Structure 1
Amino acid sequence: MKSPKITFIVSILFIVSILAGLGILAFIPKASPKVVKPNIVYIMADDLGYGDVGAYGQEKIKTPNLDQMAADGLRFTSFYAGSTVCAPSRCSLMTGKHTGHSYIRGNGEIPLRPQDKILPQYLQEQGYTTGMFGKWGLGDMNTTGMPDLKGWSKFTGFLHHVEAHFQFPGIVWNFVQGNKPIRERVRTEGGQSSFANDYIEERALEFIDKNKEKPFFLYLSLTIPHAELVTTNKILSRYQDKDGNSVFAPEKPYPGLHYGGQMQPRAAYAAVVSRIDDYVGDVRAKLAELGLAENTLIFFTSDNGTHVEGGRDHDDVEFFRSSGPLRGVKRDMYEGGIRVPGIACWPSTIQPGQITDFATANWDWLPTLLELSGSPAKPTALDGTSLVSLLKKNEAPKAATNRTLYWEFHERGFSQCLRQGDWKIVRFVETGQPTKTELYNLADDLGEQNDLAPTQPAELQRMTKLLDAARTRSVHPAFVTAGY
């Protein structure tokens, strides 16, 4: 005789089979699959040139981790910084607007305003924990641009640009959001003996450890290889021989002025670039250790082109081919000032060994990450376009086929440039001097050596109209220059 329990189970199974046969179960709601949001890591070097990475042709400086990241993912050959200098480049990244529309269009300690909603604020609305480590530069203490007011759950680093100039500061800012936010200055381990970027990397790795159970956005904003080429003996030694001499001798010692002195500036530059590469390797290793690598999108880039200060000159740029095949350096409107490395890796999504020449810029990352995070936000007046199709299928966004990319710069007078397709226009305005306009075809002349303005009047006129239409007059008086 069957037990009552067995009889009950058999009856239930019989009823389920009847309902299934009648198709009735199809109308019973099913639980939606859980959407797993990707972790996001954005690593940005400070003044790293387009040609400073092995994957972009560098032969003297070793960058094995970045080269492997490029082999594992998608390498952008036409990726652009937001500006040719620091602050406006970072503002473009955070706001999704180029310097023709953004609030901060040049260097200076100008904070973001309350109405400037930026990337981490959008991501926090989607459940992300946000952490920034390194150089901020968009709001000093007691301003509307303080990190905790702009969506950062955790921040450790430098608020002011000049603070970030020095590699052994001995002290950094620490911010934590909350009902009673923490806003304090803390000593780095070892005080003056602590290399700032090592300390910052340690805090970033701790952030990953602490937030491994939920989606996070990590912004690692390094302060190298910016102009102070001062580092530890251990880091420097990889480009020295057994007697402590530079492998790039003869060197031109730099006595130091604003930035600290360096007897071997070429060796030091190479060493800190390789140290950046170490940090990239450490972050990838931490993600793999925690089982997070597959579902983490990592992007690596620079805030602008390489520099010629702090003991480094144009001969050094040429020695390392830091700008690669490009003309210009930091503060130039030529490609070497704004075109930078861009490497994306996302093992679950991006196929290895991909390359794209589609022209993109750091202001594209706000709409890209809004889409990837599932955000319903539709910010108006963005200049960026989502790169999700590029990341997932290596297909250029259809809506951006004929897009324009724009930059302006408010030092040494006023300068602008705009790219559309293969064409690029550059304009220089100086008070009391005739305006100078140049035109280049980047497909034929990547090094911008052949000015076509005198021979292509129709194209010059078309591009001039696009250049004039690309901007609105700045609302901040610091960025109203030479009548613009």
Structure 2
Amino acid sequence: MNTSDTLKPWLKIASISFLLLAPVTGHAQQNTSKPNIIYIYADDLGYGDVSAYGAGKLQTPNLDRLAASGIRFTNAHTTSATCTPSRYGLMTGIYPWRQQGTGVLPGDAKLIIPTDRISLPKVFKQAGYHTAVVGKWHLGLGTQVKKDWNKDVKPGPNEVGFDYSFIFPATADRVPTVFMENHRVLGLEEGDPIEVDYQHIVGNDPTGKEHPELLKMQSSPEHGHNQTIVNGIGRIGYMSGGYRTRWVDEEVSTTFLSVAQDYIKKNKENPFFLYFALTEPHVPRMPATIFKGKSGLGYRGDAILQLDWTVGQIIDQVEALGLADNTIIIFSSDNGPVLDDGYQDGAVTQRNGHMPAGSLRGGKYSIFEGGTRVPFIVSGAGVAKGTTSDALICQIDLLASISNMLGQPIPKGEAFDSQALWGTFLGKDKQGRSHLIEHAGSLGVIKGNWKYIEPSNGRAYAKLTDTELGNAPNPQLYDLSKDIGEKNNVAAKHPEVVKELAAVLADERSK
């Protein structure tokens, strides 16, 4: 039976209920020069996790629906193989490896996005859009690590260009496990202050290390997810207080969806940019009860079904509000997939032959293609329908592309790694980037059919996550037109190509 079949009765009821709550209006936006943009960002979703990209063990009908109505890119990339740097590149138009401090951040990190430079949301604001971020942030908050979570926490999303923000500060496996609306933690009580520390235990909450018997999902050994227990799940970092503020894992996704839907409804009369940063299928995977056990692939597969349903709800709302003719939905992921990333949730033991990276090698944390080549779908106003593109593109290019589309100049010296490729994103132009620098500790270069990986003394394999990292002491060269799985290193056969691409990398480093 198709894995989505068991959900159909419930999904049908949910869809009918939603349509009743979101009546169609006859006031669709008419200014086609300023289309609404909804950017939906999955978290750790792999190239092979979407049925439109070849997944056979898992069906994603709503993402398939989005691809069928738009353009599916097969050579689209994040800048990096982990989440914080990918998000930094998306927001700033700058390769994250150029900037210190853009690695995966703890939950108490300070803001790493400059407030005095151009950013993706600022481009929209300058063009008269209302802007919002809903979901995972993980780009730091405030001006220092030590901060008072019981007062306004800033600078943050609002200071880098978002008119409205509803986020959790970092990611779901890190404290503080709270929602924040603009600068404030929701649900704060004066007599129950929050304290967060990543170096020392605070308060008296039990930890996963000392009390594993209290966990409803066991942490994997040596991953670090064994500190303060929240909702029966061990987290990274220590937290005390704020008991009314702590979210319930099964409700996080639907809470973000509800807020995103409310934002779209309130702003339907004027152009808006919504950055909807989902938490699935990042750990800890604890989907809503209705999705548990539905995929047959453990909680990771269930979380992907929930993600797909969420995307479907956004598509339905856009159509119901009469916004489809003036809205573009972009869907992608922040990096490649990982199975065991800190919790024993069935992702490994119930894999059932599913290949999260498809035919690609590596995954999250890897310089191989599985680390940065991700699903990327664009659908909506002015977009080619039902097409596939193999143009080389990167999420970092959205800033320059949107700037060009809206006629908003980029200040000199800013966002200089972003390229204006709006015609490519719409499917009107088959030309993409001439080359792209990939980042996962070491660096790689894609140019044409060639992929070069620089020599590195880093680990070749990460045992904790069972990931081939792609590091090697000698140069690596792959012909992706013949060897998408990067199995055959042909550097010795093509020294001239190695020299050319090494020079490209050296030139980029010198900028």
TM-score range, shorter chain: 0.7 to 0.9
Quote how far apart the aligned CAs of 1:370 are.
Answer: 1.4
Deviation at 1:385, TM superposition (A): 1.6
Higher share of residues assigned helix:
1
Structure-1 separation of matches of 2:368 and 2:277: 24
Residue 123 (structure 2) aligns with: 122
Number of residue pairs the alignment of both structures matches: 399
Q: Are 1:196 and 2:252 counterparts?
A: yes
Q: Deviations over 1:253-299 (max 9, x none)?
A: xxxxxxxxxxxxx3211111011111111111111111101110110
| In structure 2, distance between residues paired with 1:393 and 1:48 | 23
Deviation of 1:71 after TM superposition, in Å, equals: 0.6
What is the deviation of 1:457? 1.4
* Equivalent position SS for 1:195: helix
Larger radius of gyration: 1
Tell me by how many angstroms 1:384 deviates: 2.0
Instruction: Check 1:141–1:235 CA distance in 2 against 1; reply closer, same or farther (3 A cut).
Output: farther
- How far off is 1:373 after superposition? 2.6
What is the distance in 1 between the residues matched to 2:480 and 2:377? 21
Alignment of 1:363 with 2:396, yes or no, is yes
The answer to whether the 8 Å contact 1:174/1:186 transfers is no
- Which residue does the alignment assign to 1:342? 376
Q: 1:135 is matched by which residue type in structure 2?
A: K
Q: Are 2:95 and 1:98 equivalent residues in the alignment? A: yes
- Root mean square deviation, CA, Å: 2.7
Aligned counterpart, 1:376: 409
**Residue 280 of structure 1 corresponds to which residue in structure 2?**
311
For 1:427, the equivalent position in structure 2 comes to 454
Structure 1 residues 191 and 135: CA distance shift in structure 2, 3 A = closer
Task: In structure 2, list runs of 5 or more residues that go unmatched.
Answer: 1-29, 145-153, 189-243, 460-470
The counterpart of 1:459, out of the listed 478, 489, 497, is: 497
Deviation at residue 197 of structure 1 after TM alignment: 1.2
AA at the equivalent of 2:141: D
Structure 1 runs (4+) deviating above 6 angstroms are 187-190, 312-318, 431-434
The residue type paired with residue 218 of structure 1 is L
Q: Check the 8 A contact 2:250/2:287 in 1, yes or no.
A: no
Structure 1 residues 112-151: aligned runs within 5 Å: 112-142=113-143, 145-151=155-161
Relative to structure 1, the CA distance from residue 472 to residue 146 in structure 2 (aligned partners, 3 Å threshold; closer, same or farther) is: farther
| The one of 160, 165, 170 aligned to 2:173 | 165
What amino acid is the match of 2:113? L
Deviation for aligned residue 1:465? 1.2
**Partner of 1:287: helix, strand, or coil?**
helix
> Which residue type is aligned with residue 364 of structure 1?
D
Q: Is the 1:136–1:159 contact (alpha carbons within 8 Å) kept by the matching residues of 2?
A: yes
Contact in 1 for aligned 2:298/2:351 (Cα 8 Å): no
For the structure 1 residues 113 and 316, does the alpha-carbon distance in structure 2 shift closer, same or farther, using more than 3 Å as the test?
Answer: farther
Q: Measured at CA, do residues 288 and 363 of structure 1 come closer, stay the same or move farther in structure 2, by a change above 3 Å?
A: same
Could you tell me which runs of 5 or more consecutive residues in structure 1 were left unpaired when the two chains were aligned. 1-32, 176-181, 240-246, 248-265, 474-484
Deviates more, 1:426-435 or 1:39-48: 426-435
The one-letter code sitting in structure 2 at the alignment partner of 1:365 is L
1:441-484 deviations in Å (ceiling 9; x for gaps): 101110000001122112111111112222259xxxxxxxxxxx
Counterpart of 2:464 in structure 1 is: none
Contact 2:336 2:373 in 1 (8 A): yes
**Structure 1 counterpart of 2:406, which letter?**
S
Q: Distance in 2 between matches of 1:316 and 1:326?
A: 20
> How big is the shift at 1:435?
3.4
Q: Specify whether residues 87 and 209 from structure 1 end up closer, same or farther in structure 2 by C-alpha distance, changes over 3 A only.
A: same
**Corresponding residue SS for 2:256:** helix
For 2:438 and 2:402, locate their aligned partners in 1 and report how far apart those are by CA, in whole Å. Answer: 22
8 Å Cα contact 1:88/1:104 also seen in 2: no
Find out whether 1:269 has 2:300 as its counterpart: yes
Distance 1:191 1:34, change over 3 A: closer
Evaluate the alpha carbon distance shift between residue 378 and residue 140 of structure 1 in structure 2; reply closer, same or farther with a 3 A threshold: closer
The alignment status of 1:223 with 2:279, answered yes or no, reads yes
**TM norm structure 1:** 0.76
Over 3 Å counting, the alpha-carbon distance change for 1:197 and 1:393 in structure 2 is: closer
The alignment partner of 1:44 has SS state of: strand
